[in-house]
Amino acid sequence: MATLTTLALDAMGGDNGPSIVIDALTQALTTFTEIHFIVVGDEIELQPLLRQAQLLGHPRVTLKHASQTVTMTDKPGYSLRAKPDSSMRVALELVATGEAKACISAGNTGALMTNAYFTLKTLPGVLRPALVSAIPQQHEKFSLMLDLGANPVCDSETLFQFGVMGAVAAQEVLGIQQPRVALLNVGEEETKGNDVVKATAVLFQQSPIINYVGFIEGDDIFANQADVIVCDGFVGNITLKSCEGLADLLLNNIKDNIHEHLLTRWFVKLFYRRLQRSWNWLKPDHYNGASLIGLRGVVIKSHGDANARAFFSAIEQAVAETQRDLPARIRDCVEQVLLEQE
């Protein structure tokens, strides 16, 4: 009998409570028959939910009690010092000890970053872990963008490593053999950008293992011009949230016009329905799951307001990364880069 792969679920993180985690778990058990799940959290709250879902006592579900919960308002340092028995910390420790291959949490991003960094440590040679996620492209394709908020300030060496790690993730998760790596900048010309971005471009140009395609501007992020888009966490987080907000604004404005004004002709309604179908593909539910890469284990950050469909998508991401052993692939590539620089 094949050995099951174990994933740890932080059931108490996120805005919507543990019920969405249990709903996602129900779907995951049917989809991934080779996966065992450890559900981490307050057993008093979780037992009734598992019983209701007929999962209490399931052969591939283990409930592990954690007496504390990291809230969305907890500061990262406080969550690390004052909540050693939080569901987030316990789930990460399961990965650190080898009892689980991955941790999935919808909890506080800063707290997850800090606790993961403390508990798992970075891979040899990796300066900082980065938060990376798939973003939609033209023709229903995807690219990876990093960093999305874990590191607001980065030097050129760190950004270069983000490109290396992102390229490995694109190869292993997206199946792209020679991913195109680009730097997000204020212009495409070599003279544009701050000193850090310019210095990073030089490192990419000098690396024989990176398929560097140059600078990319904000209006080309979704134009399928790169498979990996590199920036610091400050820029990446603002960029992603701005794009999500703009997409919501456009769709809601069209919807309001159709219902409240004179845009009632059949072809306008048809256009709206087609646009809505495209937006359903763009919705974070369908590709939710930012990966905290560069650590000695797989850590997936689900949206804080994730529903069950979105949390299941994060589980899918964790399964894909554990199957491809992404941390080991990144470790090998970083070691190769460090050897070349000696």
pTM for this one?
A: 0.88
pLDDT at 323 over 80: yes
Question: According to the model, what pLDDT value does residue 285 have?
Answer: 45
Question: According to the model, what pLDDT value does residue 237 have?
Answer: 87
Reported as a pLDDT band with limits 50, 70 and 90, residue 277 is low
Among 9-13, 64-68, 92-96, 173-177, name the one with the lowest average pLDDT.
173-177
Mean pLDDT over the full length of the chain: 88
Question: According to the model, what pLDDT value does residue 338 have?
Answer: 78
Mean predicted confidence (pLDDT) in 30-43: 97
Q: Is residue 313 a contact partner of residue 106, using CB atoms and an 8 Å limit?
A: no
Mean predicted confidence (pLDDT) in 48-52: 97
Among 17-26, 178-187, 280-289, 297-306, name the one with the lowest average pLDDT.
280-289
Convert the pLDDT of each residue in 205-256 to its tens digit. Answer: 999 999 999 999 998 998 999 999 999 999 998 988 887 777 667 667 766 6
Q: Check: CATH 3.40.718.10 for 133-251?
A: yes
Question: According to the model, what pLDDT value does residue 284 have?
Answer: 47
Question: According to the model, what pLDDT value does residue 278 have?
Answer: 53
Question: According to the model, what pLDDT value does residue 286 have?
Answer: 47
Question: According to the model, what pLDDT value does residue 145 have?
Answer: 94
Q: Which CATH class is domain 1-126+294-342?
A: alpha beta
Question: According to the model, what pLDDT value does residue 279 have?
Answer: 52
Cα(16)–Cα(215) distance, rounded to whole angstroms? Answer: 39
Convert the pLDDT of each residue in 111-152 to its tens digit. Answer: 999 999 999 999 999 999 999 988 888 777 889 999 998 899
For the chain, give every residue range classified as CATH 3.40.718.10: 1-126+294-342, 133-251
Reported as a pLDDT band with limits 50, 70 and 90, residue 258 is low
Question: According to the model, what pLDDT value does residue 138 have?
Answer: 79
